[in-house]
Amino acid sequence: MDALSRLLILNAAEGSIDKNCHLSHDWQLPHAAGDLAVIRWHTVTEGGAEVELPSGEIYTLRPGRVVILPQNSAHRLSQKGEALTFIVCGSLQLQPSARYFLTALPEALWLAPDADSTTFRWLQAAIALMQQESSADRPGSNLLCSQQGAALFALAVRDWLTHNASSEKNVLNLLLHPRLGTVIFQMLEQPSHPWTVEALAGRVHMSRASFAQLFREVSDSTPLAVLTTLRMQIAAQALSRDSRSILLIAESVGYASESSFHKAFTRAFGCTPGEYRKRVQALGQPG
C-alpha cells in the first residue's frame, strides 16, 4: 500500500453534509475558525460563490469545483453573480491526533477536474448522491455520505501532491517520507523547541550533511525553512482560535522576540499577526 493511502486510512474521516440549500439576494455565510480535527468543504451545483480566507485568497466556486479547508480556517462564503445559488457544504471529522497531518496541508485545497475527465463525472455524481442521501432517512445513508466526502478529500490531497511535488510549501511529502517523517512530526509536536539541523539529523541517526541533502532532494527546501513554515501555520491557527497575546503565541512557536515573529509572520502571510487576527474575526461575522 502506498504511503498516502496508509496515512489517509490511519486518519479515517467521518463525514456529513451540513448545508444543502438555495440562496439568493446577495447572501453571505460567515464561518469562524473551528475544531482543528474537522475539515470543511464547499461546492455549488447551480450559480456561483466566492470563498474568502484570512490570507486574502479568494476562490470562485462553480459547478464541478470543490474547495476543501483542511485546517477549518475562518472563511466567508458570498454570492458570485446574480443567479440563484444551490450550495452544498460538508464536513469531515477526524481524530484529534490528525491535527499534525492537517497542519502539513495548505489552508485550502482546490479540486477542479477537467470537464471531460472521469473525475469530473464522478464528482458530479458523488455530489448528487450525497444530496440525495442526506435528505433521505434510509439505511446506510450516513456511511455513503461519509465515504464520498472522504473520497473528495483524498482526490484533493493527491492532486495537490501531484502539482506541488517540488514546492517548499509541500510539507506532506516530507511527512510521508519513511525517514524524514519522524522529524516533521517532532517539529509539529514541539514547534517552540530550539531545533538545529544537527539536532534534527541526530533524531534519525544521520550526519548533518546527509540529512540536509536528503531533505533538499525530497522537498527542494531546507529543514529550517520548513520549520519556519510550520511555526507560522501553527501560529496562524492560534491567532484564529484563542485570545492569548501575540507575544505568548510567538513564544509558543519558538520566537523569544515579538519583532522577529512579526517579520516572519508578515513574510508568510502578507500581513502582521494583529491584522491576521482581525481578518479572522471579520470573516466569522456577518459582513
Given pLDDT bands bounded at 50, 70 and 90, which one contains residue 165? Answer: low
Amino acid 219: pLDDT = 85
CATH code, domain with 130: 2.60.120.280
CA dist., res. 105 & res. 196, Å (int): 23
What's the number of domains the chain is made of? Answer: 2
Amino acid 6: pLDDT = 83
Burial class (CB in 10 A: 0-12, 13-18, 19+), 278: middle
Specify the 3-state DSSP secondary structure of 89: strand
Please tell me whether residues 154 and 218 are part of one structural domain.
no
Give residue-wise pLDDT tens across range 17-60: 888 888 887 899 999 999 999 999 999 999 999 999 998 899 99
Give the mean pLDDT of the chain: 90
Name the most confidently modeled range: 89-98, 187-196, 214-223: 187-196
Amino acid 168: pLDDT = 45
Please tell me whether residues 37 and 115 are part of one structural domain.
yes
How many C-beta atoms surround the C-beta of residue 63 within 10 A? Answer: 16
Q: Which domain holds residue 235?
A: 171-283
Last residue of a domain, one of 139, 163, 187: 163
Please tell me whether residues 109 and 214 are part of one structural domain.
no
pLDDT of 2 > 90? The answer is: no
* Residue bearing the bigger pLDDT, 198 or 133: 198
